């Protein structure tokens, strides 16, 4: 990477990180409070009646899924809101006419989304320690899944922002698509409990592969082989990156 490109990347990344850390009460605190409520309601109150799930306490079982849910939501929303704000204010046109390559623009915004997703994931993990002891089966699997998932949904948020024509448009996808897919992605249950037909259908949900891989890193449970999980995640990243790259290069939804 050329020195000038590196400076451009650092500038965009620094702007993105400063943006969400400056308003940390709105960006970092709410996920911690929300996840605490999940831990209390689903873990302590309901979990005691559910019993064991795949050989682990229900609380220990849902912790990886809840961490992943917070990472997905925050990686997505950070890029979607930031990029659309830049588009709405006309700032994105300055980047488009500057000698900054498209991949640097994408890397800067996605890097900001990944930074927020990872930071929120760390905060939620710390919160979970108040409710259940931390178990780690493979640090490598945890870190790899965390980064790949953050990148994937940061790209998805960027794609949403490109097509969004109002601030309402950047909330439609999270509300009507992302949230249902997350809840049906095995966060609160094991797919092995589903009837064979529904278990097969559930594999059409990409989030189930991320939750499965992340849970494997913590508990060593492998409902879906890691190879398939990583293949699906990397495949989606490749598709979304290619799509976003072409759209930004052509100025689709960006140039007035």
Alpha carbon distance 25, 30 (integer Å): 7
Alpha carbon distance 28, 78 (integer Å): 11
The pLDDT assigned to 15 comes to 93
Which residues in the chain come in under a pLDDT of 70? 1, 43, 255-256
The pLDDT assigned to 255 comes to 67
The pLDDT assigned to 217 comes to 94
The pLDDT assigned to 169 comes to 83
The pLDDT assigned to 212 comes to 93
Closest CA to 142 of 57, 39, 212, 227: 212
Residues 6+ apart with CB under 8 A from 210: 68, 72, 145, 148, 149, 152, 185, 229, 233
The pLDDT assigned to 90 comes to 77
């Amino acid at each position: 990477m050329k020195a000038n490109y590196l400076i451009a990347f650092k500038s965009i990344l620094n702007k993105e990180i400063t943006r969400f850390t400056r308003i940390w009460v709105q960006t970092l605190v709410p996920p911690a409070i929300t996840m605490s409520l999940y831990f209390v309601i689903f873990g302590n109150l309901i979990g005691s009646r559910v019993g064991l799930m795949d050989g682990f306490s229900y609380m220990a079982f849902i912790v990886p899924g809840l961490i992943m849910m917070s990472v997905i939501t925050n990686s997505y929303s950070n890029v979607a809101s930031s990029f659309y704000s830049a588009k709405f204010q006309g700032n994105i046109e300055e980047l488009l006419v500057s000698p900054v390559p498209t991949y640097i623009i994408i890397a800067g915004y996605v890097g900001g989304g990944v930074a927020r997703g990872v930071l929120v994931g760390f905060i939620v993990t710390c919160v979970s320690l108040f409710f259940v002891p931390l178990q780690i089966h493979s640090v490598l699997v945890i870190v790899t899944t965390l980064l790949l998932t953050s990148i994937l949904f940061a790209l998805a948020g960027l794609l949403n922002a490109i097509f969004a024509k109002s601030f309402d448009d950047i909330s439609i996808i999270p509300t009507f698509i992302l949230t249902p897919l997350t809840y049906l992605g095995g966060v609160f249950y094991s797919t092995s409990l589903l009837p064979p037909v529904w278990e097969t259908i559930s594999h059409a949900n990409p989030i189930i592969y991320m939750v499965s891989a992340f849970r494997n890193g913590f508990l060593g449970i492998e409902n879906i082989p890691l190879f398939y999980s990583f293949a699906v995640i990397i495949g989606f990243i490749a598709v979304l990156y290619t799509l976003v790259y072409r759209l930004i290069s052509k100025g689709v939804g960006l140039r007035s």
